[in-house]
Structure 1
């Protein structure tokens, strides 16, 4: 008898606890949604904490495009890239960046063409699996942009290239709370200068590079390793 009288009370308490948990989850979800909707970034480079940053593995794009029989620009993207940014408190002029593109991850959306471009007649990814870039200088051309010069290594050959870089802004990410900053970059290089003249003139010599990148702060203990 005693147990049967307590059972409704127990069920009521359990329902109340469940209701409170649901209400808490909904309130947190609403706060998160509000923080995302109202999120804004600072265009001021001075707001970026100095330190090491790495490419956000989920928010980036690197693509090359070339003339294809003069009909169009054929786009090739890469599916695997890593990059490190050493951000100086003085801003882009004193900061440096390095990037490694996995040449084996090239994706033209045409499997047979992937094989041709990655083969020995072009990138030869078995011998040269990595495309490397290391910045060497930066010249500001506007408040939020400038010309980034660096050494690009493709197919075992290193040449200087210049990219027009735009600082997109900085803020703690509303979801991860990590310090995050974004950039876009655009440039051109001659593939012939890297020993990649195969299929010319059916395939153009000028390679256009387009980059979108978000960098996130590296934890201090990770940065010291």
Structure 2
């Protein structure tokens, strides 16, 4: 009888303790993820390029955002400026030298909560085998069940500014701005 009471007490105690949410792993969706880069071209225009992702994994812990992480691979072959000649020029040796360095990568090193749906994500951006720290200001757009695929989903936006010369792609600066703005939007779903 004492064993049954002990078991019941244990079950009641377990039921009274709230469940601890575990981190959720999401695969980023290449068809709904964009890394848009814009720059100043000699004071006349602000061209842009979209860097698509090949693969990306986001681990998000809603209860403890500091335990979250993200890792993304951006194949330079997916870069699209909507101008084929410019794509070719940017992929060449003056800029990304995509033949020798086919991918850029980002891997987070620290995530800090800045309040409701706001995060600061610090990580290492690698372009042309040059790695530098980058800080992203992130807005969590939402989490929930994706209506099309019926899986848990997450969406976010992020922004930052980097100096392209830090990564060996500083050709024609300062006429073509060294600082470039990055705007990221992404969706991910559970595997």
Residue 179 of structure 1 and its aligned partner are, at CA, apart by: 0.4
SS at match of 1:93: helix
Determine if the alignment matches structure 1 residue 185 to structure 2 residue 158: yes
Residue 108 of structure 1 and its aligned partner are, at CA, apart by: 1.0
Over the residues paired in the alignment, what is the CA RMSD in angstroms?
1.9
Superposition pairs for residues 14-93 of structure 1, below 5 Å? 50-88=23-61, 90-93=63-66
Superposition pairs for residues 1-225 of structure 1, below 5 Å? 50-88=23-61, 90-218=63-191
Residue 199 of structure 1 and its aligned partner are, at CA, apart by: 1.1
SS at match of 1:192: helix
Asked if the contact 2:33–2:53 (Cα under 8 Å) also holds between the matched residues in 1, the reply is no
Asked if the contact 2:159–2:184 (Cα under 8 Å) also holds between the matched residues in 1, the reply is yes
How big is each residue's C-alpha offset from its partner over 1:20-60, in whole Å with a ceiling of 9 and x where there is no partner? xxxxxxxxxxxxxxxxxxxxxxxxxx9x8633210123222
More helix by share: 1
How big is each residue's C-alpha offset from its partner over 1:129-155, in whole Å with a ceiling of 9 and x where there is no partner? 000000001222221112110000001
SS at match of 2:93: coil
How big is each residue's C-alpha offset from its partner over 1:161-195, in whole Å with a ceiling of 9 and x where there is no partner? 00100111111112221100111000011111112
After TM superposition, the score normalised by the length of structure 1 is 0.72
SS at match of 1:72: coil
Structure 2, unaligned stretches of length 5 or more?
Answer: 1-18
After TM superposition, the score normalised by the length of structure 2 is 0.84
Equivalences, count: 173
Residue 89 of structure 1 and its aligned partner are, at CA, apart by: 5.1
Residue 62 of structure 1 and its aligned partner are, at CA, apart by: 1.2
Query: Larger Rg: 1 or 2?
Result: 1
Q: In structure 2, how many angstroms separate the alpha carbons of the residues matched to 1:61 and 1:79?
A: 6
